[in-house]
Structure formats: structure tokens, C-alpha cells
Structure 1
Amino acid sequence: MKYCKKCKHLHNDNEELCTACKKPLYEITDENTPVYLISAGGFELQRIKTTLEDSAIPCDSIPQKHTTSAEAVTGYDISYRDIVVPYAAYEKAYDVCVGIGAIKEGEEEILEDDGVPVNSDTKTATEEFEEMSGTKRTTVRVISAILLILIFAAVIYGTDFITGFIKGLFS
């Protein structure tokens, strides 16, 4: 098995350059070589790291170079980080991530809280969303606002009518 020393991604033996960063690949000689498992951020990062640690798999998170952190503004780190594990524990770590739903079987994709993969090009079987043009989106928003106002008016006038009817019974 080969890996990239820069980004820590694993590759097949027949590959010569990393597909992620185009750097030369090297043979793994040490079982403790850190290799890339998955990228995650925020709560998902903590969930994956805690699960790996509970499974006795050592792991570390490395900040991604191309992302910026909002830690200075928000007070906590929400940036995405790469989770790396020792090469010897990679298979077990991969299986653990599949078990908790962080990786879909056969793909290395991080899942959102609702179970939908990030950067997914495929639509889920349960929901399909239609891309709307700006005009259609604006029209839907205006109609929704008008309907909400009509519902509030109906509730207010209905309550006023019922209150007047009840007052009329006692007068």
C-alpha cells in the first residue's frame, strides 16, 4: 500500500501520484504511519474521535490547510479537520466509522446530522429537491407570506366573532 506524505491519503500500489495533491507516493514501511481516514468538523469531528478512542484506536485531527477557522469569532473551532489513524488500525477505524454512519460503505464521505452525505451528487431516495430559479423562489416566498397573513387574519377575526357571539348570549 502506498500513501502520500503530504496529505496522508492511502493509494493502491500501482499509482505513482496522489490524486488529491499530485505529490509522489511512498511505500508504507512503518505500521504506525499516520494515514487519512475522514474529514469532519464541529460535533461530527468530536463524535468520530470519541468513538475511535472508545474503540481503543489512536487518532489525531489535523487542520486542513485550505479552510479557515471561526474560532476567534465564535469561541470554538468549527473548521473541518482531517482525522488520521495509524496504518495498522486503519481497517478497524474504517469499520467503526461505517458502523456509526460517518462513512457510507464503499465511499469515504462524511454525513451530515440528517444522514445526507456532504458534497453528494446523488439524490436520496426519501427526498428530491427541485432547483428553483430566483423568480420562482421569490414568488413562492411572497405567496407564503400572503397566506400566513390570511391565516393570522382568519384566526383574529374568527376569535373576535366567537367572542362577540358569546357576549351576545349574555346580554
Structure 2
Amino acid sequence: MKYCKKCKHLHNDSEELCTACKKPLYEITDENTPVYIMSAGGFELQRVKTALEDSKIPCDSIPQKYTTSAKAVTGYDSSYQDIMVPYAAYEKAYDVCVGIGAIKDGNEEIIDDTANDSEYNAETEEFEQMDSKKRMFVRIVSAIFLIIIFALVIYGTDFITGFIKGLFS
């Protein structure tokens, strides 16, 4: 197996450049080399790390570059972090992550659990296809209503301002 020293992703032996960061790949010589398993944030990060630690797999998380967190304000860290495990424990860690549903079989990550709850079902939801005349009519009516709403807000504000001025004159 080859890995990228910069982003720690694993690659096949036939590859020469990292697909994530385009850096040269190197052979893994040490079984304790940290390698990337997945990215997660918030509760999912804690859930994955706990599952790995319960399975006696050492792991560490590294904040992703250019991500921000609101931990100082909210007390909750919402930034995504890369989870690293030793190369020797990669297969076991992968199996644990698949077992808890953090990684789908086939190396596709599940980042947000709410995305699975609201999957789009094409069979139950149908959209009406609008012809070009109907679409143009809807756009014109929408623009007219928007102009009317703006006019009402402006005239209403002017009326209230004039009324308040009249009280103090």
C-alpha cells in the first residue's frame, strides 16, 4: 500500500500521485504510520472515536484545514476533523466504522445522518412540467407581487413616520 505523507490517504500500489492533494505517494514502511480513515464532525466525530477506542484501536483526530468552529461561543465543536488510525489497525478500524454506520460499504462516507431521513423518492413526488408560456406568466406575476410588497413597505413606513412627526408638531 502507498500513502500520501501530506493528507495521509491510502492508495493502491499502482498509483503515483495522491488523488486528494496531487502529492507524490510513498510506500508504508512503519506499521504505526497514521493513515486517514474518515472525516467527521460534532457528535459523529465523538461517536466514531468512542467506537474505535472501545475496540482498542488507537485513533486521533486532526482539524481540517480552513474549517472554523463555534466552540468558543456555543461550547460545541462543529468543525470537521480527519480521523487517523495506525496503518496496522486500518482494516479493523474500517470494519468498526462500517459496523456503526459511519462508513457505507464501498468506501462512501456518511457525513450527515439527517440526509438519510429525507431521501428524495422520485416515485412518490411528481413535479408538474411547465411550458414556457406558463413559466413566463408565473415569473411576471411574481415580479409584480414583489414590486407591490416593496411599495406597501415603503408607503407604510412613510405613513408611520409622518404620523409620529405629526404627534410632536
Fold equivalence (TM over 0.5): yes
Match in the other structure for 2:13: 13
Counterpart position of 1:113: 113
Q: Give 1:56 deviation, angstroms.
A: 0.4
Unpaired runs of 5+ residues, structure 2, are 128-137, 143-169
| Regions of 4+ moved over 3 Å | 123-131
What is the distance in 1 between the residues matched to 2:37 and 2:73?
Answer: 29
Show the counterpart of 2:134. none
Distance change >3 Å, CA 125–CA 51, structure 1 → 2: farther
- Tell me, yes or no, if the aligned pair for 1:101 and 1:111 is still in contact at 8 Å: no
How far off is 1:77 after superposition? 1.3
Q: What runs of 5+ residues in structure 1 fail to find an aligned partner?
A: 118-122, 140-171
Q: Which amino acid aligns with 1:10?
A: L
Residue 81 of structure 2: SS of its match in structure 1?
Answer: strand
Kept in 2, the 8 Å contact 1:69–1:77? The answer is yes
Displacement, 1:76?
A: 2.4
Question: Is the 1:37–1:85 Cα contact (8 Å) retained in structure 2?
Answer: yes
Aligned to 1:166: none
| CA shift for structure 1 position 116 | 2.4
Q: What does residue 78 of structure 1 align with?
A: 78
Moved more, 66-75 or 22-31: 66-75
Rate the CA distance shift 1:90–1:130 in 2: closer, same or farther, 3 A: farther
Aligned to 1:160: none
Query: Within 2, Cα distance between the matches of 1:27 and 1:80?
Result: 28
User: Aligned partners of 1:79, 1:10: CA distance in 2, in Å?
Assistant: 23
Q: TM-score, normalised by structure 1?
A: 0.67
Evaluate the alpha carbon distance shift between residue 125 and residue 10 of structure 1 in structure 2; reply closer, same or farther with a 3 A threshold.
Answer: farther
Letter of the structure 2 residue corresponding to residue 40 of structure 1: A
Identity %: 78
Counterpart Cα distance in 2 of 1:55 and 1:84? 15
TM-score (norm 2): 0.68
The within-5 A match list for 1:139-154 is none
Decide whether aligned partners of structure 1 residues 126 and 59 sit closer, same or farther in structure 2, where only a CA change above 3 A counts: farther
The change in CA–CA distance for 1:128 and 1:37 in structure 2 (over 3 A counts) is farther
Q: 1:127 to 1:24 in 2, by over 3 A?
A: farther
